[in-house]
């Protein structure tokens, strides 16, 4: 039996793929306006209708957003974030926290088994950045470093799908319920469990890694009054 014939991709699908790469690589940064339509036509060598179809597809995915009279902007570098946001009730941040727990606990355990020395050093560096930001009272730098810390742990699990899902969940948290992501900067101390997580990953101890994640997510849940 011969293999089935796979029809070639439509031109608009190829353009969507190229645009997606530009967004994910940061060539088109989140929050910035993409080039105007005439420039896109010239850049991709296709017609206006093809560009419009590709842009509409990325708007539907949530990666692009139109602003009337001001062009089209990059809303997200993660196509899953929009789908996650549509599934979460605005009044229930616990749904996001539970999803984060489901991913992060097992990702941390996998990181303890698979993280490379370079990845462990990177995780330590992000934690140090977060702690310095706390000492200086820089809330934005703290939030950025804290997110980078957790994302680095998930990446160290070696599971690309978990990392993609986690990025989408955190992006939605930051847009809708930032308090779930980071504690009050006024507390002045990193929540318990973070240093323990680094030590567990470095020691190759998956059970200790799971426990460390559980401790700081329990703190986050208490901050939500749940």
Q: Which domains does the chain have, with CATH numbers?
A: 11-77 (1.10.10.10), 81-223 (1.20.120.530)
Q: How confident is the model over 126-143, as pLDDT tens digits? A: 999 998 988 888 888 888
Nearest CA to 180 out of 218, 152, 154, 210 is that of: 218
* Sign, Cα dihedral of 205, 206, 210, 216: positive
Q: What letter does residue 195 receive in the DSSP assignment?
A: H
State residue 186's pLDDT score. 46
Q: With 60 as the cut, is the pLDDT of residue 192 above it?
A: yes
Task: Enumerate the β-bridge partners of residue 33.
Answer: 73
Cβ-based burial of 76 (10 A; exposed 0-12, middle 13-18, buried ≥19): buried
The string of DSSP codes covering 41-89 is HHHHT--HHHHHHHHHHHHHHTSEEEETTTEEEE--S-HHHHHHHHHS-
Q: With 60 as the cut, is the pLDDT of residue 226 above it?
A: no
Mean pLDDT of 83-93: 71
């Amino acid at each position: 039996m011969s293999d089935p014939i796979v029809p070639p991709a439509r031109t608009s699908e190829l353009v969507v793929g190229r645009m997606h790469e530009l967004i994910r690589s940061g060539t088109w940064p989140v929050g910035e306006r993409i080039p105007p339509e005439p420039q896109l036509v010239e850049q991709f060598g296709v017609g206006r209708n093809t560009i419009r179809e590709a842009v509409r597809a990325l708007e539907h995915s949530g990666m692009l957003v139109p602003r009337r009279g001001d062009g089209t902007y990059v809303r997200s570098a993660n196509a899953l974030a929009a789908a996650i946001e549509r599934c979460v009730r605005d009044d229930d941040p616990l749904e996001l926290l539970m999803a984060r727990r489901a991913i992060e606990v097992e990702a941390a355990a996998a990181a303890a088994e698979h993280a490379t020395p370079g990845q462990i050093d990177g995780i330590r560096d992000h934690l140090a950045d977060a702690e310095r930001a706390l000492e200086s009272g820089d809330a934005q730098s703290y939030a950025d470093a804290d997110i980078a810390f957790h994302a680095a742990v998930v990446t160290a699990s070696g599971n690309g799908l978990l990392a993609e899902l986690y990025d989408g969940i955190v992006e939605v948290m930051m847009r809708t319920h930032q308090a779930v992501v980071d504690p009050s900067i006024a507390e002045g101390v990193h929540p318990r469990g973070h240093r323990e997580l680094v030590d567990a990953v470095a020691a190759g101890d998956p059970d200790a890694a799971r426990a460390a994640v559980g401790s700081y997510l329990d703190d986050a849940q208490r901050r939500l009054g749940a």
